């Protein structure tokens, strides 16, 4: 599944489908659905290829819209293996947490909880004094093993044959903090975690 496809699926389930039920088949819902599909390809392209502040701003908007919970943002562990989860890790680590469990760290890196335990035991990943692994170290290790050089995101063709993402409206990088019910992070500065803790290593331990 591509990042844009996951975003479209989430928008359908969490926004458009409930709207369709409330409005009882109003044709305006289809226009909203089509517009969101186009924007999803644009957002995915900017998350994967745009400037970091711009990408973080888009991710912040998506999380606030798709996960508007009064509790802390805590998706299932396996969510971090999805395209959106991986994009979040690469761009900011975790929106609100500074440390994560071994299981979550493993999902972020695409390995098992036991593999994380082994890396910590061997000193290849730091262990937080309160337990878990610092998010900054996980993000640094992921970027060192697989640099963020995502190829261009395929976008659906318009009637004229041009890609809709090619004419994407560029969202300016924000200069204010993004506020979520469970906390906040600076969308202008991106990840605030110290990324110098992790030692760059080869790919063999992050497969």
Q: What average pLDDT does the segment 25-34 reach? A: 92
Judge contact between 144 and 201, C-beta under 8 A: yes
Q: Reduce the DSSP state of residue 184 to 3 states and report it.
A: strand
Dihedral angle of Cα 87, 192, 42, 64, to the nearest 10 degrees: 90
Q: Reduce the DSSP state of residue 190 to 3 states and report it.
A: coil
Higher local confidence (pLDDT), 71 or 163: 71
Describe the chain by its helix, strand, coil percentages, rounded to 5: 50, 5, 40
Least confident of 89-98, 145-154, 157-166: 157-166
- Give the pairing of strands 183-186 and 177-180: antiparallel
Confidence of residue 145 (pLDDT cuts 50, 70, 90): confident
Query: For residue 52, how far is the Cα from the chain centroid?
Result: 12
Judge contact between 201 and 145, C-beta under 8 A: yes
């Amino acid at each position: 599944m591509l990042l844009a496809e996951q975003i479209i699926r989430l928008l359908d389930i969490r926004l458009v489908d409930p709207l369709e039920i409330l409005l009882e088949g109003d044709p305006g819902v289809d226009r909203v659905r089509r517009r969101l599909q186009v924007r999803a390809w644009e957002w995915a392209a900017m998350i994967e290829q745009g400037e970091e502040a711009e990408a973080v701003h888009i991710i912040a908007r998506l999380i606030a819209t798709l996960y508007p919970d009064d509790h802390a943002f805590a998706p299932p562990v396996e969510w971090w293996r999805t395209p959106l989860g991986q994009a979040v890790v690469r761009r900011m680590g975790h929106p609100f947490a500074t440390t994560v469990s071994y299981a979550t760290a493993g999902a972020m890196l695409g390995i098992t909880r036991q593999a994380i335990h082994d890396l910590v035991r061997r000193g290849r990943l730091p262990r937080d004094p309160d337990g878990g692994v610092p998010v900054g170290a996980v993000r640094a290790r992921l970027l060192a093993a697989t640099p963020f050089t995502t190829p261009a995101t395929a976008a659906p063709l318009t009637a004229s044959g041009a890609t809709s993402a090619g004419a994407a409206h560029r969202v300016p990088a924000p200069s204010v903090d993004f506020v979520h019910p469970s906390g906040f992070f600076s969308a202008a500065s991106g990840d605030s975690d110290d990324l110098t803790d992790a030692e760059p290593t080869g790919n063999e331990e992050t497969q």
